[in-house]
């Protein structure tokens, strides 16, 4: 999956979803628990709450994370 130029992406788009049809490959290949621990520790960007039960990340933040870490699958 390629990232859009602007907007937001959801957790399943970032970490992948093997149960989706067709499966979504990860943009940033870490486990869900490692992702949330990294957010808590300040390693990964914090999400933006779009609603009470919906979080997303700014595309710009994810692109910066990939550029900073050099990690991309």
pTM: 0.86
Q: Residues 59, 4: contact at Cβ < 8 Å? A: yes
Strand 48-51 vs strand 8-9: parallel, antiparallel, or unpaired?
unpaired
Query: Can you give the residue ranges of every domain in the chain?
Result: 8-69
Mean pLDDT of 3-26: 93
pLDDT digit string, tens, across residues 18-69 = 999 999 999 998 999 999 999 999 999 999 999 999 999 999 999 999 999 8
- 3-class SS shares of the chain: helix, strand, coil, % to 5: 35, 20, 50
């Amino acid at each position: 999956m390629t990232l859009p130029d602007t907007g937001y992406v959801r957790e399943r788009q970032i970490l992948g979803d093997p149960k989706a049809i067709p499966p979504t490959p990860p943009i940033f290949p870490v486990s869900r628990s490692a992702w949330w621990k990294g957010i808590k520790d300040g390693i990964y960007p914090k999400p933006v709450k779009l609603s009470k039960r919906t979080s997303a990340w700014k595309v710009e933040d994810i692109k910066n994370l990939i550029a900073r870490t050099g990690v991309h699958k």
